[in-house]
Structure 1
Amino acid sequence: MSLRHAPYEDAADFAIGLKPIAEADWLEGGEPDPAARKDPLFAAHRDVVWGETPASRPGQEEARELVAAATGRPPADEGLPPLHAAARQVPDDLVLMEKADGHWRVSALSLCAPTFFSAREVLGRALADIHAPVHGFEGRFLTRVVRIFDGLRPGLILERRNWSVVNSAETFTPDPAPIRARIAGIDPARAGAELHVRVERQTLRRLPRTGGALFTIRVWLHPLDDLAGDPPRLAAFAKAWREAAADFRAYKRLALYDDLVTRFLRAHGESHSVNGN
C-alpha cells in the first residue's frame, strides 16, 4: 500500500494530467477511521483545516450525499456543516468549488492533510490566485483548467497525481518552515528513512444539482527506503529527480534535498546526480 502511487514514473514537470476514472474508483479508502485523525485537528486548528462561505451549504449537502453514496455510510447528523461531516467519513480532503463573479472559487473545504497551505489562505479565492505560486501556471495552464471546470459533465470523474519529497512522515503539514529547518540535521546515512515521497492523488467531479465541483485530495507518504525494494520504481524516481524541469524543481524546493537524495541514490546503485555527474 505504501507504494500505491508513483506519479514520478509519468512526469517530472507540471502537467494537468487529468484522466477519467470509474465511479467505483473515486475514493480509495485505506484508513479505518479518518475521523480519529481529523477530529483533533478540527478542535485544535479549526481555521487551518476548515472553512466555509455563507452560501455554500447547498453545495456542501450535495457533496455529502455523493460521499455517502460512495461509502455506503451516511454520516450521522452531528450538527456539523455537511462537507465537514462528509470529510470525517473518508481519508481524502474535500474542497467545494463554485462559480461566483465569473470565477471558480473555493466556497468550502475540509483540509486535514495540507501540503504547505491552510484553509484560511484559500477560502473564497479563485483558481488563478490559489495557483499563483506555481511557476508559469497562469500562462501554461489557467485557461485549460478553467475550461475543464466549465465543461465538466455530471457523471465524469477525473483523476490526477503529483509528487514531491519532504523530510516529514506527517500528513498535517500546513507550514513548511519547521520541517525545512530540520534538513541540516539529517544524517546522510539515514536519508532513506528521513526523506519521504509525498504523493497527492486528486479527483474532480461535477455536482449535478447545485452546479459546483467537488475536488478531493488524498495524500500518500512513503520513505525513500521503500524504493530500495522496488528497483523499477527506484530507477523511475532517480530519472525523474535528475530530469525534473527547472520550474518544477523550484516550486517543489527539490534543491533543498539534492545532496541527501543523491547520496541515497548512489548508495542503491543509481549513481547519477541531479546534474548527471
Structure 2
Amino acid sequence: MTVGRPQHLPFTGDGSRLRMGLRPLREEDWLEIDEDLDLFVAHKQRMLSERPADVVAVVADSDGSVHSASVELLECLAGHLVRWHSSTHVPAGDGIAVGSRGDVVPVTPSALAAAGLHPIDAAGRLTQEDWTIQVRRPDGWILAAASVCCPTRWVLAEKLGRPMADVHRPVAGYTEQLESAVDRFFDRITPEEPRWRLNWNLTDSTDLYQPGGKYRDEPDAGLTADVVADRVWLRVERQTLRRLPRSGAVVFGIRIHSDPLGVLADRPDVLARLAATIRSLPPGTLSHKSMGAFAPAVLSWIDGTVAGRQPGNR
C-alpha cells in the first residue's frame, strides 16, 4: 500500500478500558476511496478466486430477508459511489466500472443472476471496505452475511450466524464493558444517523488478509528496537455502521489502513500517546492484540525516538 502520513491515529494514551468511540458520519464520508483502490480491487479478486468460501458467507436464508438486505446495501453503495466518487466508479450498463482497471461489477438483479453473484459479494467488489450485515433474530443481532477479504485476526466462518456477544467474546473485557452498550446501539441506530469508529493493532505483516495472529504472548526474538520502524505496522480499521431503511439491517463497513511505525518518527507526541496506550492495556487485551510479541521492542524504539526528539537532543 501507499506509505504516507497515517490518516487515522486512534490511540488516546489510555487503553485501560474498551470504548465504542462512536462519531457522527456524514453521508459524503461513508466510504474512503484513495490511490490504493486498484490494489484493494486486485487483492479482493484474487481472494474471491482462490478461496471464496473463506471470504464470502451468508447464513441460511429461508425467508430471503438476508438476501433482501444485501440487495439494499448494494443499491445504497451504487448510488453513493456514482454520486460521491464518480471519478473512480462509472456506470457501465447494468454495473459499475471500478478504478483504473475498469472492471465492471454487476449491480442489478438480472446482472447479478447472470454472473452468479450474491449481492454481498458484489458489494465487496465495489469498495476498499469489507462489509458485514447484521439482522435481528430472537436471540439478538447476528452476523448474517459478509464479504471480508481483509480480516485482522479473525475468521469469518467462526463468526457467521453468531450473536454479537459471541462475535466479540474473545475480546478481553467486552462482556463487562461493551456488550450491553453494543446491543442497545444496534437496537436504536436510525438510518438518518450513521456512525463511525476506529480500531487498531500492531502487526509484522503488510498482508491485507490476516485471519490469524492473536495471542502471541512471547517476545519475537528477531524483532529488536533497531528494526521496529520498518518491520512493525500500525493497522487501523475505520469502521462504519448504518441501518438500512427498508430491511432494518445494520451494515458494518471495515476499511483497512496500514503504515510502518517509522512514518511516525517525527511525531513524538503521537508516539508518546501510543506508548502510554500500550502500557495501560490490560493483560487480556495485550494477549488478544499479540502485544507480547511486539511491545518490548516497540516501546524501546518509541522511548528512544521520543527522547531523541527532545530539545537539546536534536
TM-score, normalised with respect to structure 2: 0.80
Check if 1:25 corresponds to 2:55.
Answer: no
Which runs of 5 or more residues in structure 1 are unaligned?
272-277
Aligned to 2:258: 221
Aligned to 1:210: 247
CA distance in structure 1 between the aligned counterparts of 2:139 and 2:210, rounded to whole angstroms: 32
1:161 to 190, 194, 198: 198
CA distance in structure 1 between the aligned counterparts of 2:297 and 2:56, rounded to whole angstroms: 35
Q: What does the per-residue CA deviation read over 1:144-184, in whole Å, with 9 as the maximum and x for residues that have no partner?
A: 1111001111121111101121111112101217x999933
Aligned to 1:151: 188
Aligned to 1:268: 305
CA distance in structure 1 between the aligned counterparts of 2:42 and 2:287, rounded to whole angstroms: 35
Letter of the 1:236 counterpart: R
**1:11 Cα deviation (Å)?**
4.5
Letter of the 2:45 counterpart: D
**1:36 Cα deviation (Å)?**
1.3
Letter of the 1:51 counterpart: A
Aligned to 1:16: 20
Change (3 A) 1:8 1:181: same
CA distance in structure 2 between the aligned counterparts of 1:263 and 1:36, rounded to whole angstroms: 37
Change (3 A) 1:83 1:182: farther
Asked whether the equivalents of residues 217 and 292 of structure 2 are also in contact (C-alpha less than 8 Å), the reply is no
Aligned to 1:38: 44
Asked whether the equivalents of residues 217 and 290 of structure 2 are also in contact (C-alpha less than 8 Å), the reply is no
Identity of aligned residues (%): 29
**1:116 Cα deviation (Å)?**
1.2
Change (3 A) 1:181 1:89: farther
CA distance in structure 2 between the aligned counterparts of 1:141 and 1:47, rounded to whole angstroms: 30
CA distance in structure 1 between the aligned counterparts of 2:243 and 2:126, rounded to whole angstroms: 20
Change (3 A) 1:233 1:208: same
Q: CA RMSD in A?
A: 2.2
Aligned to 2:147: 110
Superposed, 1:33-112 pairs within 5 Å as 33=38, 34-55=40-61, 56-72=66-82, 73=89, 74=96, 75-76=105-106, 77=111, 78-112=115-149
Letter of the 2:19 counterpart: A
1:185 to 222, 232, 238: 222
217-226 or 43-52, which deviates more: 43-52
Aligned to 1:195: 232
Helix, strand or coil: the match of 1:62? helix
CA distance in structure 1 between the aligned counterparts of 2:252 and 2:79, rounded to whole angstroms: 16
User: How many aligned positions are there?
Assistant: 271
Helix, strand or coil: the match of 1:7? coil
CA distance in structure 1 between the aligned counterparts of 2:219 and 2:57, rounded to whole angstroms: 30
Asked whether the equivalents of residues 120 and 146 of structure 2 are also in contact (C-alpha less than 8 Å), the reply is yes
Aligned to 1:274: none
Q: What does the per-residue CA deviation read over 1:102-148, in whole Å, with 9 as the maximum and x for residues that have no partner?
A: 31111110111111112211111110111111122122211111110
